[in-house]
Homo-oligomer: A and B are copies of this chain.
Amino acid sequence: MTREELVAQIAKKKSFLCVGLDVDLNKIPEHLLKEEDPIFAFNKAIIDATAPYCVAYKPNLAFYEAFGVKGIQAFEKTVSYLKENYPEQFVIADAKRGDIGNTSKMYARTFFGEYNVDALTVAPYMGEDSVTPFLDGYDGKWVILLALTSNKGSFDFQLTEDENGERLFEKVIKKSRQWGNDENMMYVVGATRGEMFKDIRKVAPNSFLLVPGVGAQGGSLEEVCKYGMIKDCGLLVNSSRGIIYASNGTDFAEIAGQKAKELQAEMEALLQS
């Protein structure tokens, strides 16, 4: 999906919401466990209920791999379901991959070639040749590089200043902008520190940012927009647990839809202001 197409969806839906599909069998409604594929049954219901209010879905691979072959099948089915029924949705595989060149090439083939997702999250630690295999030859596909994450551990290395006062996340953004561009590379920037978006926008003025940490992790949507929003929005804000586990009764999908709708309404107001 091109940036233009993504931006058109945001304008149409008045939403820049991404729904995180982090399905935990211990948290989904009990009645679904009787289904042949409970993970897919859960996702399908959540997708049908939330699709009008969001522009992206983000399954995190950890939650699928945890169930071995069955989990991978549920992931494949979920992506196929989205591609067939909601082709306008931007599908992000949250896998945080990254390895030496020939290995990253294999991951790229898997996620872009086989699964046909629109974007993959990638970890930057191994540098250029671990990232570029995801860019070369995959038109309309995106790398979403970890820059400043939403967890406590982000303080350990990402904020380390070099001899010139440049922090690691800034260096990651600056360097990687030589490998990709604003049409094929986004950055993960956690919502838990809204004012940091000012600094991010200094080094990535025109990049799309994938923002986790709103909701369960405590980030403020308003702050993120205040400091991070640009002309064509430039934000995809993710919510996982706050939407998909809002209820674990038989009304789980309905309540998830309501929660997504509430966020969409907030986003609509923020897009207008």
Contacts and interface: CB of A to CB of B under 8 A. Distances in A.
A265 to B, nearest CB: 27
Interface string A150-164: 111111111011110
A60 interface: yes
A150 B102 CA distance: 13
A171 B153 contact: no
Contacts of A175: 156-157
The size bracket of the interface on A is: 35 or more
A207 interface: no
Interface in A68-110: 68-69, 72-73, 76, 94, 96-101, 103-104, 106-107, 109-110
A62 B76 CA distance: 16
B168 A153 contact: no
Interface string A21-60: 0101000000000000000000000000000000000001
A228 interface: no
A95 to B, nearest CB: 9
A65 interface: yes
Contacts of A22: 103
A222 to B, nearest CB: 22
Copies of the chain in the assembly? 2
Given A65-B110, A72-B68, A162-B161, A127 B152 contact: yes
A62 B110 contact: yes
Given A125-B123, A127-B156, A168-B157, A110 B151 contact: no
Interface stretch (A2-10, A128-136, A247-255): A128-136
B124 A125 contact: yes
A66 B163 contact: no
A260 interface: no
A172 interface: yes
A126 interface: yes
Contacts of A172: 157
A85 to B, nearest CB: 21
Interface of A: 22, 24, 60, 62-63, 65-66, 68-69, 72-73, 76, 94, 96-101, 103-104, 106-107, 109-110, 114, 123-131, 146, 149-158, 160-163, 165, 168, 171-172, 175, 212, 217
Given A96-B123, A130-B153, A160-B162, 20 more contacts: A22-B103, A62-B107, A63-B106, A66-B109, A68-B72, A68-B76, A69-B72, A96-B97, A100-B149, A101-B151, A125-B146, A125-B157, A127-B158, A156-B175, A157-B168, A157-B171, A160-B160, A160-B171, A161-B162, A168-B168
